Amino acid sequence: MSTFDRRKREKERRRNDIINAALKLFASKGFNNTTVDDIANEIELSKGTIYLYFESKEDIFHKLIKDKLAKFNHTIKSCLKSKGSAIDVLKYAIQAHLEFFESQKQLIKILLFEQKWSVQDESPVQQILVSHREEHIKMICKLLKPAFKEGLFKKVNIRKAAAILIGLLYAVTGEWIFTDEVYKLSDEKDLVFDLFCNGLKIKEN
């Protein structure tokens, strides 16, 4: 391995170390209560070293969300390409959501804690989260479109239906995160599916 390759690998490793330290602290303390000093101390680096890789705490947050959700977005987009009935694809997507959330507990805590619904909040953090939510809703709309087109659901605003499904997924995940009961989040897939579909009154074939 060349010197250039070693330096490139070391730089990437340190960048990931910073992101993972920030992930841990943002999840436990919240974004506002975490400082760049906290992140540096967590991985025994100087504050100045952090700024060699990121411009600010907001930049760390942005890269963290982008990096961690890249796999999630790929997974959901793969659901759109999967074969099967509209209902089978929906079931698969619900399971994929819960499995990802289960594997990224700290990330989901951040999304639950930091998301605000006020359109007047134009802070960098909220803009990042609003952008993620918008992309998420668009993917779910595409996912639900075949079921609506086939007349499996009653006619409602598809964007609102997508938002409701996302809300259900996060509600079930929040209960899993904050309860003392030990169980697999992915086992709740049937509950989410039944609540969502019964609310939209799937027609009997």
- Per mean pLDDT, which range of 12-21, 49-58, 118-127, 193-202 is the poorest? 118-127
Mark out the alpha helices in 33-123 (DSSP H runs).
Answer: 36-42, 47-53, 57-81, 86-103, 105-114
Are the beta carbons of 68 and 23 closer than 8 angstroms?
Answer: yes
Pick the closest to residue 164 from 62, 86, 73, 94 (CA basis). 94
CB neighbourhood size of 24 (10 A): 15
66 dihedral zone (left: phi>0; alpha: psi -120 to 50; beta): alpha
Q: At what angle do helices 105-114 and 158-178 cross, to 10 degrees?
A: 120
Are the beta carbons of 82 and 154 closer than 8 angstroms?
Answer: no
At residue 201's C-alpha, the angle toward residues 199 and 205, to 5°, is 150
d(CA 46, CA 26): 19
Query: What kind of fold does domain 1-54 have according to CATH?
Result: Arc Repressor Mutant, subunit A (1.10.10)
Are the beta carbons of 77 and 96 closer than 8 angstroms?
Answer: no
pLDDT at 189 over 60: yes
Domain 58-199: state its class: mainly alpha
Pick the closest to residue 114 from 94, 132, 140 (CA basis). 132
Is residue 6 very low, low, confident or very high in pLDDT (cuts 50, 70, 90)? confident
For the whole model, what pTM was predicted? 0.86
Q: What is the pLDDT of residue 18?
A: 96
Q: Where in the chain is the domain with CATH 1.10.357.10?
A: 58-199
Q: What is the pLDDT of residue 12?
A: 92
Q: Where in the chain is the domain with CATH 1.10.10.60?
A: 1-54
Report the run of H or E that residue 30 belongs to, with start and end. Answer: none
How many percent of the chain have pLDDT more than 70? 94
Q: What is the pLDDT of residue 121?
A: 62
Is residue 117 very low, low, confident or very high in pLDDT (cuts 50, 70, 90)? low
